[in-house]
Amino acid sequence: MDKKLYDLMDWAGVEAIVYSEEDHPENYLGPHQTEDGITIQAFFPDAKEAKVKVNGVKKMYPMDLEDEAGYFAVLIPGKKIPEYSILVTYENGTVEEHKDPYSFAPQITEKEAKKFNAGICYDIYKKLGAHPMNINGTDGVYFAVWAPNAMRVSVVGDFNLWDGRKLPMRRFGESGIFELFVPGLACGSIYKYEIKAKGGLTYLKADPYANAAELRPNTASIVTDLSDFTWSDDSWMEERKKTSTKDKPMFIYELHLGSFKKPEDDRIFYNYRELAPMIADYVKEMGYTHIELLPIMEHPFDGSWGYQVTGYYAPTSRYGTPQDFMYFMNYMHEQGIGVILDWVPAHFPRDTFGLSSFDGTCLYEHYDPRQGSHPHWGTLIYNYGRPEVSNFLIANALFWKNVYHADGIRMDAVASMLYLDYGKNDGEWVANIYGGHENLEAVEFFKHLNSIFKKDKDGAILVAEESTAWPKITASVQDDGLGFDYKWNMGWMNDFLGYMQLDPFFRSYHHGELTFSMIYAYSEDFILTFSHDEVVHGKGSMIGKMPGKRKSKFANLRAAYGYMMTHPGKKLLFMGQDIAQFDEWSEEKGIQWNLLEYDEHKQMQTYMKALIRLYREQPALFQKDYDPSGFEWINCMDADENLLSFMRRGEKPEDDLLIIVNFSPLVYEKHKVGVPYNGKFKEIFNSDSKEFGGDGNTNPRAKSSKKVFCDDRENSIEILVPPMGISVFKCTKVEEKAEPKKPAAKKAETVKKAAPSKKPAPAKKAAAKDAAAKKAVPVKEAAAKKETPAKKKATAKKTTAAKKTTKE
């Protein structure tokens, strides 16, 4: 053994390397400059010999075996560290050539690390995780992971026989980040992190920032290059940046990729690239503006539908690669379809390969189970007050928007984040610093995320699934709101579905459930939803919820969808419900597309196409969703008849629509409806049309209003109201004719014209008097015929009474 080399060895450090307990391996591995030359140290367990091969030098430098476990070192001449590789010979005779990982500098800066520790490094996903790159002409993969309390972290995989001794990562300053560049690795490499916790427990973890993962039940992360895709949706992205969704039609088709359609071969799932045209064709055929995908982030259990995420930065491999999903997103945009992604920042599963107890401590979750776990869901709750945890989540939302061009993020279970006692009994939760049940750290997290998300002003939206009365969900952060763009209207959904499930005989006693939503309709910017949650776990499908026999069920559902479409707010409907699928949704089965072979289901689909077309073509149904001037009740008190009538208005008067909804099975003939002005009212949509499966109770001719008092309005029309249906009328205002001019004004005009003659001739004066007298007669007669509204109303009542008496 070389005496100089022996003296240069730090034997305590060598022992730490051999026993895999060193978090600064760069001190004892790799090249180091000394007064006597360059030392190169390496650890190759089970290696027989090792040699250093210096670029441009023919001579090989044999390395001394300093420790029999496989620790090698050599001292080579020179003052500058050369480019080199190491040839390793193993006991079985295998020879491998390695570039030294510890000869490459860290690829994360101190500034970036400090921003991450402060919770404000919004593109941290570009540094943490696994990133293929070329450093000084050498291809490889840069790994970085946050595990501040770990004793040692190594990257392991097929490339090093999953041996955690071979590639220990270096701790980067005080940041808690471990990082290492591994030369020679390529995309497709499978890896995990081996973590040795304080106390000696050693285990494997998937990469929290991994961009790809193995197909379940396997759990390893996969190296991939996200730059390996060419986008062609520039025009869509530019248009999105310039427009707002608030005054545009937005009808979202919510779907689960794994059960939209099932392959006819032996496969379980279609690929993202196969699904793209299938979904786009159907969405365009129906007229939906957006799709919303149940979580596509990697998850281990199919039955969770994606709501128990283990790979937040990786699209699930069930349907293909990250590049396949990029193709899916790009294709949707090329077809003019927006894509909203479900996202789950509320909780995460306890799977041991995931985030739970990541570095041997409760890193992502709270230590106290009263704060860190959901007793009913069996999942763990994020510690939003820890900057690195909030940075992980905020950067993740930005990641899907910036890297995958998502048009929106819908946050799941927001209510569970806002309330510390959500789903918990007394003694199962800890109050905040003021003694309340509000999760102040989660509130700050929302404000932080939403303010940063909107900073780019790129038109992407944020939607909250929030089921309580927490105020200002969609108010701006500057106005002390949470900053979301939209909130799911869970109150409307629960009230309305409860009403619709009643037999029509009993609905009159629950009329308030039908109208209550308009009391708070403008407190938030709402989306009306019939989501996946309403058609699972024994709740029945939408058609299954409707009362009555089969024909009545379809009529009820048409009326329900019609009311949803004309009620203020954007819209969302889960897949399969637009064709009236009777079975509940199951992730194991595809939509029952064969139902379209039957007339009633095909007619329902035809109805939905026509209804969505009406919605998209009529500005009154979307332009003023969040402006009270866009809605006016005509009659919301007609409980006994189960009737509603109201106006929807757009920016222009000619956009006005009159809407009548009947939730009873009765036909109302010659039914008077008050209208806001004198005009013509043309029925443009009727759910009872025969093409939709109805009986044809329609109003084929335009209705002209009459001066008959009804619904507290001077004008009204008589219409045929279809049973269990909705009628939509286009309104055209007609100006009333001006009254004849009074004779006094004419006389004055005559006098004025005669003014130049101070003393008019007697003959002319007499002629003027005769003309005025003749004109006065018809004016008096007109005055005698004219009636006040009150008199008209009284007359109408007398006439009605007379008609009733005659019938009796």
Tokens of 393: 């989540």
Cα–Cα dist 272/278, whole Å: 10
Tell me, yes or no, if 97 is annotated catalytic.
no
Torsion angle of C-alpha atoms 577, 580, 583, 584, degrees rounded to 10: 20
Give the whole-angstrom CA distance, residue 576 versus residue 168. Answer: 51
Distance between CA 521 and CA 632 in Å, rounded? 12
Question: Catalytic site residue 627?
Answer: no
Q: Hey, which residues does 100 pair with through a beta bridge?
A: none
Cα distances from 639 to residues 410, 515, 636, 661, in angstroms, run 36, 10, 8, 12
**Six token digits for residue 317:** 């491999």
Burial class (CB in 10 A: 0-12, 13-18, 19+), 680: middle
Q: Which of 405, 409, 399 is nearest to 334 (CA)?
A: 405
**CA–CA separation, 316 vs 296, rounded Å?**
6
Q: Which candidate in 179, 359, 407, 412 is catalytic?
A: 412
Which residue from 90, 13, 83 is spatially nearest to 44, judged by alpha carbons?
90
Kindly state the DSSP code that residue 200 receives in the 8-state scheme: S
Buried b (16+ CB within 10 A) or exposed e, 415-438: bbbbbbbbebeeeebeeeeeeeee
CB contact at 8 A, 154 and 165: yes
| Catalytic entry in 179, 194, 465, 524 | 465
CA torsion sign for 568, 571, 577, 580 is positive
Length of the chain: 808
Angle between helices 387-402 and 440-453 (to 10 degrees): 30
Q: Find, among 333, 336, 317, the residue nearest to 325 by Cα.
A: 317
Q: Please answer whether residues 718 and 760 qualify as being in contact, where contact means their C-beta atoms are separated by less than 8 angstroms.
A: no
Q: Which of 401, 30, 16 is nearest to 182 (CA)?
A: 30
Going from the C-alpha of 511 to that of each of 224, 495, 638, 726, the distances in angstroms are 57, 10, 8, 17
Query: How, if at all, do strands 668-675 and 679-686 pair?
Result: unpaired
Structure tokens at 784: 């005698």
Provide the annotated active-site residues.
412, 465
